Amino acid sequence: MSDDLVLGLDTFGDVLEDDHGELKTYAASIRDIVEHAVIADQSGVDAITLGEHHRPEFAISSPEIVLATIAGRTSRIKLGTGVTVLSSDDPVRVFERFATLDAVSNGRAEVIMGRGSFIESFPLFGYDLADYDLLFEEKLGLWAKLLDERPVTWRGKTRPPLTDADVYPKTENGITTYVGVGGSPESVVRTARYGFRLMLAIIGGSPSRFAPYIDLYHRAVGELGQPALPIGVHSPGFVADTDEEAKELLFPRFKKVRDKIGAERGWHGEVTREHFEQEATAGSVYVGSPETVARRIAATVRELGVQRFDLLYTSGSVPASAAARAVELYGTKVIPLVRDILNS
């Protein structure tokens, strides 16, 4: 089981702090994330994914450019987005960018497609939120056609038609595609219909709540005649040398981000320390020492039967140096421990 398990890291490109508690610049934060990816590659992490965002807390709006930089400094780690907001992008241009990334990384490019839980990109790029569902449905369908890497004829409502259009560069072995899902059964079935891998964003509550979505995906791919494909989980957390250190580094920054997003989205109440501790103990925040985090990841992998787990290692403006240490501990300590637990 553990031999096929992918254990990755994820970041939305949070603007990070320096060692004096001051926020770094956007440029410096991007450079820090490149260095974190290099550490991850050297430490045994299987994959790193970068999220696309267009708001002040996050530095990465063009993850493929950052991933291409990482490609030039790494040799083995898989390079992906988590997510690419396909609804407000052009699938043709997305394919061209990822095919290019795949070339310069020697076949290490992956993409996680998403509708966009943050909506800033829609008005920014001239899209109407009234078309939120239609945009993703049509563009994901076009993406599926583009992956055949043959001339495409396509017509829809959300972009100009294509007639026998060929797209370059061609890849050597295709582009691995996941679809990020936050809890919609319709999204799970859509992912299965197109034969894409499923990535579940589990950001709160017991991971077991998502078991029905995994069962639904398995049933759907079977009924649709699609091959069985890996399923992944993405959840927040942080690793430090001790449980106490990890929690004290993460909690105030985690709370600040969640409270701001919660106020924007109408979530009930602010994050309390009690709620944070509950999430850290039995919920979906994987925070603590390598031993603690490894036990919790192994339990989730075993309970849900998934083939991939990505830890969102920045949830707020953690110090860049502490984030670098978290990446190192995840690769050198957490990953071996998870594999040992699952093999025992």
309 — pLDDT class (breaks 50, 70, 90): very high
pLDDT of residue 322: 98
Asked whether the predicted pLDDT for residue 1 surpasses 80, the reply is no
Tell me what pLDDT residue 117 has. Answer: 83
Percent of the chain clearing pLDDT 70 (strictly above): 99
Coil, helix or strand at residue 97? helix
Q: In the predicted model, what is the mean pLDDT of residues 132-160?
A: 98
Count helices and strands (H / E) in the chain.
12, 11
Determine how β-strand 162-165 pairs with β-strand 152-154.
Answer: antiparallel
**pLDDT of amino acid 2:** 67
Distance CA(194)–CA(144), nearest Å, equals 7
Give the residue among 281, 304, 307, 291 at the shortest CA–CA distance from 341. 291
Residue 94 predicted with pLDDT over 70:
yes
With contact defined as beta carbons under 8 Å apart, do 60 and 12 qualify?
A: yes
DSSP code for 333: I
pLDDT class for 268, splitting at 50, 70, 90? Answer: confident
Residue 116 has pLDDT above 90, yes or no: no
pLDDT in tens, 15-51: 999 999 999 999 999 999 999 999 999 999 999 999 9
**pLDDT reported for residue 269:** 87
Burial 294-328 (b: 16+ CB within 10 A, else e): bbbbbbbbeebebbbbbbbbbbbbbbbebbbbbbb
Q: Is 248 exposed, middle or buried (0-12, 13-18, 19+ CB in 10 A)?
A: exposed
List all residues 6 or more positions away from 275 whose beta carbon is below 8 Å from its beta carbon: none
> What's the pLDDT score for residue 154?
98
Per-residue pLDDT reduced to its tens digit, 152-188: 999 999 999 999 999 999 999 999 999 999 989 999 9
